[in-house]
Amino acid sequence: MQNFNNETPKKIYGEIKEHKDGIFTRFFKNIFTGCLTCGCITLIVLVSLISLAVWLFSGDSGIVNCRNILSHDQESEFTEEYVTGLRAASERIAVIPVKGIILRDENASFNTCAVSGNIIKQLQQALEDESVKAVIMDLDTPGGEVTASDEIWKKILDVRKKKPVVAMMNTLCASGGYYIAAGCSPIVANKYTLTGSIGVIISTWNYKGLFDKIGLKPEVYTSGKMKDMLNGARERTAEETILVQTLVNNAYEGFVNIVAAARNIPAEKVKNTIIGDGRIFDGKQAFALKLVDKLGYFEDAVKTAAEAAKLKEYQVFRYENKFDFGRFCTILTGKTAGFSLALPGAETMENGVRLKKGVLYYLPAGY
């Protein structure tokens, strides 16, 4: 019988070389089986370097802008998610979501806010895409900043010069949401949609009474008597009240004129009836008041858009935001919007969106 000792394999099969791991194998073994702290640090550094490299060579925020050498389709900042219809159809209907409070803040989360700049880019892409024959604004928003709402409304009018734009009101489409919907034609709403709230609001805090109790008194030095007109540590003067109310009235007048023109309702009727006193309506009430054109569901909005564009076979898709390494790197490097401390209450939304003191909003009073 053969005696297999330690030297036998060498005699039978030749010299057996010692196995050595490759450089990548050793690298990952060190990460996952070595020192936990060193492994975590290594992973963090690796991810940061990869993210930085992608950021440098991608998008408008990168040092090297690769978009200049890409085709038109590849330049898109958005992905397209199939919704319904014929996948192979050459004619398409684009769905643009407007979800959450409407803001101009580019640092706001696209998941919780309707950022006007982002929505306008989607509208522009739908306008330039020759395969897109109609657009559906998929609305689920309480409203938001006056300027942001107005910018989106204006862009919708630009798109409507070439393509129909239909509004689909979902759970909530109030105030600034209705302002945007007024730019569309026709408007479809669910019978239980909450809409309306046609009005303007600006708010601040008055904590003078609290300061008096604790013996706290602010010292404010301004270049003019109106510079701190929303200072919550003192009462408003009559002149300041008139000035702020004038700002609100001016924005409200613009809102009324848009509703009047879009819905063919006299402006005085909007202002002097329940239509324009800021209250909320459900879909049925809004339909009775001629604030919406028809009651239905998303599929009804699709059918309406197809009819408006005279389409027989079509694909419906929705724009989605791509993962943005530039935004990711901004978070890593700490280049985020400044933190602001505010008293709890109406200035803080349930979903974490912070409203700004002293800014005009198309929002229900509860916000």
Q: Which phi and psi (to 5°) does residue 217 adopt?
A: -135, 125
Total residues found in the chain within this entry: 367
DSSP calls for 18-31 = PP---HHHHHHHHH
Cα–Cα distance measured from residue 157 to residue 129, given in angstroms and rounded to the nearest whole number: 17
In total, how many domains does the chain have? 1
User: Is 355 part of a structural domain of the chain?
Assistant: yes
Range of the domain at 182: 76-201+277-362
DSSP calls for 220-237 = ---SSTTTTTT-TTSPPP
Where the chain has pLDDT below 70, the residues are 1-43, 51-76, 106-111, 323-354
User: Is 272 part of a structural domain of the chain?
Assistant: no
The confidence score (pLDDT) of residue 344 equals 40
User: Is 237 part of a structural domain of the chain?
Assistant: no
The two tokens of residue 324 are: 């943005």
Which is catalytic among the residues 116, 149, 175, 197?
Answer: 175
The confidence score (pLDDT) of residue 29 equals 62
The confidence score (pLDDT) of residue 226 equals 85
Residue 227 falls in the annotated catalytic set? yes
User: Which position has the token pair 């938001």?
Assistant: 144
User: Which position has the token pair 């005696």?
Assistant: 3
CATH number of the domain encompassing residue 358: 3.90.226.10
User: Is 249 part of a structural domain of the chain?
Assistant: no
Residues 341-363 have pLDDT tens digits of: 334 444 444 445 667 777 888 88
The confidence score (pLDDT) of residue 347 equals 42
Which is catalytic among the residues 227, 269, 310, 322?
Answer: 227
The confidence score (pLDDT) of residue 346 equals 40
Residues 209-232 have pLDDT tens digits of: 998 899 988 888 889 888 888 888
CB count in 10 Å sphere of residue 313: 11
User: Is 243 part of a structural domain of the chain?
Assistant: no
Q: Nearest to residue 165, comparing CAs of 138, 188, 134, 128?
A: 134
